[in-house]
Structure formats: structure tokens, C-alpha cells
């Protein structure tokens, strides 16, 4: 469900000054969500202006060949869209701040790899990323590009046919909202014939414990936490806000719309991430 709109006016210069005061002299960790990538042309799941969506769950994917066919058909189109996206001012600002030693690293709920493309070096892809595929039977991994070569051969003309349809919505996980998927041919693992799945944490699936532990370490190493572009609707992100707040560390939330972490925040900015992070990079 999209996050509730923020009833306050958009953040002004005084709000930015307050954020600078909180963060000045502190080394902080960034926790980012889909909102940081909207200016790169990737729609948000839960922003105030987002369309309602029901992402496929892990149980649906593994339990029903029809669901898998539907997912891979949509992902085939979505991946071709997502791989051409470029980092925006917000991504570049965090990379610059890390290079200057002001940001300890980034924990991102996104799977688009735009933080790495911008130059961030210490990035924890909390939910995995879209560029690798794993076999659920034997564990064999291949690149998404290698799988794309197979899908193009198995489904000649599919992308051209879909391209004729206008107003196709692309989701943050490289999924696309299209209706006609019944004829799509899914590729299985070449080693064992098992089910292939993007190396992404689906709804209803747990984040690997080692990844969570690494993210906690990044929270513990920093003096503050900046949340950018996420409504914190799921516990996978909210737990890091709770940990920082419990340790007495300032939490600054930059988001258009209310979040589940607002009660833990030292400061909230009703603002877009590109502008706010860009200004912080210029002023800190």
C-alpha cells in the first residue's frame, strides 16, 4: 500500500540547516529505498503517488509454474528497462560523501545496483540485486545477462510485441506490469533442470542472516543514520532504524510521505532524496 502523504509543507532551507546541524561532525550510514531511484526512472512501490501493486510472493513463485511463467515474462521486459537506468544526484551524493569519509556505507533495499554505478564502495544489497540468477535446486548461479540470451532465443519476437503496448509500468524489482504472458517459455537450470529465480529476496522470503548481521555492523560503526526514500513499511528496513535509535544515535528521515519509522526520528524532512542528499553533500 502506498505511504500516506505528509501533511506538512515541503522541507525548506531551515529543515536542511537542521539536518546539517544534526549530522555535522558525525559519520553516518545511509539506509535507502525505492524513493532514491525514482529520479532515475524507476517507479516507487509505496510513494504517495504510486499505483497500488501486489508483488509476487516467494510462495507463489516456487509453488506454481503459472506464476513463474508470468513473473519471468514480465521480468524479461523489466530487466531490459532497468539495466539502462543511470544513477541520479542522490546516488552520486552518497558516493561522494563516502569518498570523503563522512558516510560509512549504504544499506539499500533496492535491487538496481545504482549505488555501485554511482561509485559507492561499501554497499549492502539487503534484498539482493537484479543482475544474478540462482537455481533453487542445485545452487548454480548465472548472470542475468546470460539468462537473457536464452530467454531471447526461447521467446523470439516477445519484446517487440510487448513494445507495441503503451503505458507499461516497470516496478523497482525489474518486474513489468503486462497482461499477456501465457505463451512465454521459461528457462530452467541447464545443470539440473531446476527452477531459476532472480537472486532477490521476495515478499514472504527472509533476508539471509549474514546480510542482516553485516547491516547491523554498519549501523553500529556509524554515529548516525540517514534514511532516504523509503516508507519503512517492512521490518527488513525498520529494524535498522530501531537499532540506531535504541543506541541513542540520531536518525534523520528524508522521504516524501509518512514512514513507519517517524516515531524514532530525530528529524524528518518532507523532501525528495536527490535534492536533499545533493545539498547535504554540498554543505557538509
- Mean pLDDT computed over 40-64: 72
pLDDT for the residue 163: 67
**31 - beta bridge partners?**
107, 227
User: pLDDT digits over 97-143, tens only?
Assistant: 999 999 999 999 999 999 999 999 999 999 999 899 999 999 999 99
Instruction: Say if CB 15 and CB 271 are below 8 A apart.
Output: yes
**Cα torsion through 56, 57, 59, 64, rounded to 10:** 0
pLDDT band at residue 5 using 50, 70 and 90 as cut-offs: low
Average pLDDT score over the chain: 88
Please state the φ and ψ torsions of residue 142, each to the nearest 5 degrees. Answer: -140, 160
CA angle 128, 134, 140 (to 5 degrees): 135
User: Where do the structural domains in the chain lie, given as residue ranges?
Assistant: 13-44+54-283
Q: State percent of the chain over pLDDT 70.
A: 88
Most confident of 3-12, 70-79, 83-92, 171-180: 83-92
Q: In what order do the strands lie in the sheet with 224-228?
A: 123-125, 103-108, 28-32, 224-228, 251-254, 267-269
Which CATH architecture best describes the domain 13-44+54-283? 3-Layer(aba) Sandwich (3.40)
Quick check: 54 pLDDT over 90? no
- Mean pLDDT computed over 232-238: 89
Specify burial of residue 75 (Cβ count, 10 A radius: 0-12, 13-18, 19+): buried
Query: What is the CB-side half-sphere exposure of residue 35 using CA atoms within 13 A?
Result: 31
pLDDT band at residue 1 using 50, 70 and 90 as cut-offs: very low
Quick check: 6 pLDDT over 70? no
Of residues 210 and 78, which shows the higher confidence score? Answer: 210
pLDDT band at residue 91 using 50, 70 and 90 as cut-offs: very high
Which residue of the set 70, 76, 127, 129 is catalytic?
127
Of residues 89 and 233, which shows the higher confidence score? Answer: 89
How many Cβ atoms are within 10 Å of 167's Cβ, its own excluded?
5
Please give the Cα distance from 236 to 156 (Å, whole number): 38
pLDDT for the residue 176: 45
127 is an active site residue: yes
Lowest mean pLDDT among 6-15, 79-88, 175-184: 175-184
- Mean pLDDT computed over 180-191: 89
Quick check: 47 pLDDT over 90? no
pLDDT for the residue 42: 87
Of residues 54 and 249, which shows the higher confidence score? Answer: 249
Quick check: 225 pLDDT over 60? yes
Quick check: 87 pLDDT over 90? yes
Quick check: 3 pLDDT over 70? no
pLDDT band at residue 2 using 50, 70 and 90 as cut-offs: low
Largest CA-CA distance found in the chain, in angstroms, rounded: 60
Quick check: 177 pLDDT over 60? no
Burial 2-31 (b: 16+ CB within 10 A, else e): bbeebeeeebeeebbebbeebbeeebbbbb
**Nearest residue to 250 via CA among 28, 16, 15, 6:** 28
pLDDT for the residue 235: 85
- Mean pLDDT computed over 177-200: 87
pLDDT band at residue 260 using 50, 70 and 90 as cut-offs: very high
Specify burial of residue 91 (Cβ count, 10 A radius: 0-12, 13-18, 19+): buried
**Residue 48 to residues 25, 44, 236, 241, 270: CA-CA distances in angstroms?**
33, 9, 20, 21, 12
Instruction: Say if CB 225 and CB 267 are below 8 A apart.
Output: no
Amino acid at each position: 500500500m502506498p505511504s500516506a502523504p505528509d501533511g506538512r509543507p515541503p522541507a525548506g532551507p531551515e529543515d536542511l540547516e537542521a539536518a546539517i546541524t544534526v549530522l555535522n561532525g558525525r559519520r553516518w550510514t545511509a539506509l535507502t529505498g525505492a524513493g532514491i531511484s525514482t529520479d532515475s526512472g524507476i517507479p516507487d512501490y509505496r510513494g504517495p503517488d504510486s499505483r497500488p501493486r501486489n508483488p509476487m510472493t516467494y510462495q507463489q513463485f516456487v509453488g506454481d509454474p503459472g506464476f513463474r511463467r508470468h513473473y519471468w515474462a514480465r521480468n524479461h521486459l523489466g530487466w531490459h528497462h532497468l539495466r539502462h537506468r543511470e544513477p541520479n544526484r542522490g546516488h552520486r551524493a552518497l558516493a561522494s560523501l563516502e569518498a570523503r569519509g563522512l558516510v560509512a556505507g549504504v544499506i539499500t533495499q533496492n535491487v538496481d545496483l545504482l549505488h555501485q554505478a554511482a561509485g559507492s564502495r561499501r554497499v549492502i544489497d539487503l534484498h539482493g540485486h537484479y543482475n544474478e540468477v540462482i537455481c533453487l535446486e542445485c545452487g548454480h548461479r548465472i548472470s542475468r545477462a546470460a539468462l537473457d540470451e536464452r530467454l531471447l532465443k526461447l521467446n523470439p519476437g516477445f519484446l517487440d510485441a510487448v513494445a507495441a503496448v503503451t503505458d507499461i509500468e516497470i516496478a523497482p524489482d525489474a518486474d513489468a506490469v503486462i497482461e499477456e504472458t501465457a505463451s512465454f517459455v521459461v528457462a530452467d537450470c541447464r545443470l539440473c533442470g531446476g527452477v531459476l529465480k532472480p537472486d532477490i529476496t521476495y515478499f514472504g522470503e527472509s533476508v539471509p542472516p549474514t546480510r542482516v548481521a553485516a547491516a547491523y555492523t554498519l549501523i553500529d560503526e556509524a554515529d548516525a543514520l540517514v534514511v532516504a526514500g523509503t516508507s519503512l513499511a517492512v521490518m527488513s528496513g525498520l529494524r535498522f532504524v530501531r537499532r540506531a535509535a535504541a543506541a541513542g544515535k540520531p536518525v534523520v528521515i528524508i522521504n516524501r510521505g509518512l514512514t513507519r519509522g517517524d516515531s524514532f526520528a530525530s528529524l524528518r524532512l518532507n523532501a525528495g532524496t536527490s535534492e536533499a542528499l545533493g545539498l547535504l553533500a554540498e554543505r557538509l
